[in-house]
Structure 1
Amino acid sequence: MKTSHFYSIFLLAIFITSCNNVQEARYPISQTSSQFLDESIARNKVIINSEEQTFENMFKQDTANVYIPSTKGFWFKYETKVEENSALPVRGDIVLYDYEVYDINGSIIYTKEETQPQRYLVDKETIMTGLRYGIKQLKQGEEATFYFPSHIAYGYHGDNKSIGTNVPLICKVKINQIIKSN
């Protein structure tokens, strides 16, 4: 009987002491610093400056065309410009367009046949960042060539197909129709 009391008291003591223990938070083994982020920012600045310099050198060599800088970090030139006073696409409009994609050396990545005619609900669908901004620069019937640094093209990720990491792109876009929203 004494043994059973001993075990009962022992189990009761374990139960009570385990319930009273305050759990302490576990701390991470290593703490992160801002060093990685700082290095990433510096690396991206070098990439952006290099791509911008490459485009600017291309533009200097081509004196026959006028290259228009955008406020969003890309350039474009008109292939076909509509002089009439028609509306630019705005949020909610539907834009029907064709486009081709080239690398910085002018080699084609995607043809019009591969990209097929596109239908884009302006600012309500996800497309390449540069195209999203570029399409809003063009009127119906206009065609332009856009020069996108990689950070507003497909960035560090690429498109998981033919466009790799940090690839600046040249896109030729033709706006076939703008369907105004209600």
Structure 2
Amino acid sequence: MRFLLALFALFLISSCKSPEARYPVSQNSGSYINESIELNKEMIAQEEDYIKQVMGENPDTEYLNSENGFWYYYNNKSTDSLNTETPEFGDVVVFDYSISTIEGEPIYAEGERPTREYAIDKEKLFTGLRQGLKLMKEGETVTFLFPSHKAFGYYGDQNKIGRNAPISAKVTLHEIKEEPNNEINNQE
């Protein structure tokens, strides 16, 4: 009997070791993320090269380069020296816009989309248009050339605009309504 108790005690002592960590079968080094970053950089460079090629085919048009990563030109620029206001955070703008391919084929024709009111940086709007509206003055019409990451990106608009599609947007800014807090600050 002692032998069995000793054997049982030995068994209990040997089975009470601390658990060992289990390591994953495969390890991810982050190379997928790095590859994705490189692919996106290449795609953006290709889109920008293509947009520059299209701009080169229109030498009579004066294209401006935005610091936000897109290009634009004025269809109708305000020459009124009193009209210097551009929209700021919270201002409500009233505008119309149409969207076409970079080559000029209509996607959403003029008048197909309703006139829109938008509170600057307080509502949802695709990145490029949100940034482009801040460059405009009342009464101006501007055509913007957006690479896909400034437009509808990877998902498109899930209707007529496909994924990773650079676009052109022709925008007319009708009115800027200052946010009530901005009007008070301007009067002081």
Structures share fold, TM-score greater than 0.5 = yes
1:80 aligns with 2:91: no
Q: What is the deviation of 1:22?
A: 8.2
* Residue in structure 1 matched with residue 10 of structure 2 by the alignment: none
2-side partners of 1:94 and 1:25: how far apart?
Answer: 58
Work out the CA distance in 2 between the residues paired with 1:29 and 1:119.
Answer: 55
Identity of matched residues, %: 40
1:29 CA displacement: 5.1
| Alignment partners' CA distance in 1, 2:91 and 2:18 | 60
> What does residue 51 of structure 1 align with?
47
Question: What is the CA distance between 1:114 and its match in structure 2?
Answer: 2.6
RMSD of equivalent CA atoms: 1.9
Q: Secondary structure at the match of 1:134?
A: helix
1:138 aligned residue: 136
Number of aligned residue pairs: 163
Structure 1 27/109 Cα, relative in aligned 2: closer, same or farther at 3 Å?
farther
Q: Secondary structure at the match of 1:120?
A: strand
- The residue type paired with residue 115 of structure 1 is R
**Distance (Å, rounded) in 1 between the aligned partners of 2:17 and 2:74:** 73
1:39 corresponds to which of 20, 35, 38: 35
CA 1:23–1:143 in structure 2 vs 1: closer, same or farther (change >3 Å)? Answer: farther
Using the TM superposition, give the Cα deviation of residue 104 of structure 1 relative to its aligned residue in structure 2, in angstroms.
Answer: 2.0
Q: CA deviation at 1:46?
A: 1.1
Which digits, 9 at most, give the CA deviation of each residue in 1:23-56, with x for residues without a partner? 8877655433211111111111111111111111
TM-score, normalised via structure 2 length: 0.80
Q: Kindly tell me: are residues 73 and 22 of structure 1, through their superposed partners in 2, closer, same or farther at Cα, counting changes over 3 Å?
A: same
Secondary structure, in 3 states, of the residue corresponding to 1:55? helix
The CA distance in 2 between the partners of 1:27 and 1:116, in whole Å, is: 58
Tell me which amino acid in the other structure corresponds to 1:36: Y
Q: Which amino acid aligns with 2:57?
A: Q
What corresponds to 1:167 in structure 2? 165
Output the CA distance in 1 between the equivalents of 2:118 and 2:19.
54
Q: Distance in 1 between matches of 2:169 and 2:122?
A: 21
Partner of 1:122: 120
